[in-house]
Structure 1
Amino acid sequence: MNNHIYTIGREFGSGGKDVGVALAKRLGVKCYDKELLAEAAKESGFCAEIFENHDEKPTNSFLYSLVMDTYSFGGYSSAPFLDMPLNHKVFLAQFDAIKKIAEKEPCVIVGRFADYALADNENCLNIFIHADLDYRIARVSKNLDLTANKAKDAIVKADKQRASYYNYYTSKKWGDSKSYHLTLDSSRIGIEGCVDLILTYREHMNKMKK
C-alpha cells in the first residue's frame, strides 16, 4: 500500500517536525510543513506572506458549520468566500490544499489541523508528538539561542496558540490522545525511535485490514 498519509501534531520543542522529516525520508515521500503554506497561497492567489502571518493562529469568531455550508472547495471567487474575513480565507485555503495534496500523493503533513481535514481518509494515520518540558526547553534554547526562561516562555506561548487554533477550528482537542491514532514521547525514545514506532504501528494496521 503506497497511498498512506501521515499527519503529525506536535508540542513546541518536541521535535515533531524532525520526526516528520525523518519519517518522510524513510518512506521516500514529501514532508509538508511551511511548504503547505506556499501550496495554499499558490492555489488561492494570496501572497505567501499572508499565510505566514496567519499560520496556526486562532481567531475570535468563526461559525465553521455555516461557512462550510456556503463554501465549496476551489470556489475562491464565490461571493461567500470573498465576503469572509482574511483569517477565515486562510484557514479554508489551507484546508483545501491539505485535501488536494493527500489526494495527489502519499506524504507526511506536519501541523495545521491536517488530521481533521483528512478525517474521512482511511489511509491517514494521525500522530501527536509530545515531550518532557525540560527536554523541550533544552531543544528550544539550543535551536533558537535563548535562555532557559525565554525558551520556556516561547514554548508556553506556542503551545497555547496551537491549541487555541486547533480547538477553535476543529471538533477535537489538541493534544488529547483520543484525537489521534498514536501519541509518542520524543524525550523518551528519540526522533528515530518515534519513526520506528510509527512504521510498526502502520504495519500492524495493515495486517488488521487484511
Structure 2
Amino acid sequence: MAPQQAQSAQMRAITISREYGSGGGEIGRQLAQKLQWQLIDHEFVVRIAHMLGVSEREVELHDEYAQGTLARILSSMRSVDPSLLVDTDINGSATEEGYHQALVRVVEAVADEGHAVIVGRGSQKILASRRDVLHVRIIAPLEKRITYVVQREGLDHEAARTRIMDKDRHRDRYLQTHYHQSSSEPHLYDLVLNTGVIDLNSATDIIYQALERKATRLLVPDQELGPGSGSARYPGRVADFSVPPVEPTK
C-alpha cells in the first residue's frame, strides 16, 4: 500500500450532504468506487428494503428522512441487531424519536466499521465530533441543477424545479428538527464544492485529496490545529486598505 493510501485508510468515513441535482450522489458513487469503500445511499436502503419485503416504490415515495418506510426498515432490522431497536407508539408504529435514535446508531456503527461513503442520512451532524471522518457539502446553482435533473430524470423544466425544491426542503427538515441547524451551514463541513463549474470527476478527485490531507492531521493535538498552525506573524503593522472617497454624481 502506497504511503498516501495508508494515510487515507486511517479515515473511517466520508459524509456527503448535497443539494438535490448537484451531482452529490454520483460523486459519492465515484468516491466509493475509487476508494473501494462501502457506499451508504438510497440504493443501499432499497436493498435492505427488498430483504425485508418492502417494495422499492414504497421507499421511493418517502424522503430519506421520512419517518414511515425507513423507520419500518430499521425496526425490522432489530432481528439482526437488537441495538437497532426503535421505540414504538401504542399502534406499533415507529416513533420519530425512535427512528432518530436508530438512525444515529446505524450511522455510528457504519463509521466504527470504517471505510464507508455515507450520502445524506444526517451523517454530517451525527459524526461531527469525529476527526477521522471527512465532511463534504455539494452545491450548484439552481438552474444548473434543474438542467441536471431534466437530463437525468426526463422531467420538464418546471417539474424538475418543483422536485428540487421539495427534496431540498425535506432533506433539511431532519437537521432542523433534531439539531436546530440547516444543512447549508458551512461550518458543518471540511469542504464545500460548487459543481456549477467543477465537473463531477474533478470534484471526486478534490475530495479524495482532501481525505488524504485530513488523514495527515489525525495525530495533531487540537490546540495546534486551525489557520494559525505554522503561520508566521505579519512582517509589519496590520492595517486595513483605505477606501477612496466616492465623488458625488452630478
TM-score class, shorter: 0.7 to 0.9
Is the aligned partner of 1:173 residue 2:182?
yes
Deviates more, 1:48-57 or 1:191-200: 48-57
Find the aligned partners of 1:23 and 1:90 in 2 and give their Cα distance: 28
What code does the residue aligned with 2:64 have? D
What code does the residue aligned with 2:24 have? G
Partner of 1:13: 21
TM-score normalised by L of structure 1: 0.79
Any gaps of 5 or more consecutive residues in structure 2? 1-6, 69-81, 220-250
Partner of 2:94: 86
Find the aligned partners of 2:180 and 2:101 in 1 and give their Cα distance: 15
Find the aligned partners of 1:20 and 1:153 in 2 and give their Cα distance: 24
TM-score normalised by L of structure 2: 0.67
Find the aligned partners of 1:86 and 1:199 in 2 and give their Cα distance: 37
1:192 equivalent among 196, 201, 207: 201
Larger C-alpha radius of gyration, 1 or 2?
Answer: 2
Identity of aligned residues (%): 24
Q: For 1:67-106, what aligned pairs fall within 5 Å after superposition?
A: 74=83, 76=85, 81-83=87-89, 86-88=94-96, 89-106=98-115
Q: CA deviation at 1:187?
A: 1.8
What code does the residue aligned with 1:86 have? A
Find the aligned partners of 1:25 and 1:202 in 2 and give their Cα distance: 15
Find the aligned partners of 1:51 and 1:127 in 2 and give their Cα distance: 25
Q: For 1:104-123, what aligned pairs fall within 5 Å after superposition?
A: 104-123=113-132
CA contact (8 A) 2:19 2:168 kept: yes
What code does the residue aligned with 2:199 have? G
Q: CA deviation at 1:39?
A: 8.1
2:192 equivalent among 161, 180, 183: 183
The CA RMSD over aligned residues, in Å, is 2.8
CA contact (8 A) 2:89 2:95 kept: no
Find the aligned partners of 1:75 and 1:31 in 2 and give their Cα distance: 20
CA contact (8 A) 2:63 2:170 kept: no
Would you say how many aligned residue pairs link Structure 1 and Structure 2?
192
Q: CA deviation at 1:172?
A: 2.7
Deviations 1:134-160, CA, capped at 9 Å, x for gaps: 111111111111111111111111111
Partner of 1:206: 215
Any gaps of 5 or more consecutive residues in structure 1? 60-72
Partner of 1:63: none
Partner of 1:23: 31
CA contact (8 A) 1:173 1:179 kept: no
Tell me: higher relative CO, structure 1 or 2? Use CA pairs within 8 A at least 6 residues apart.
1
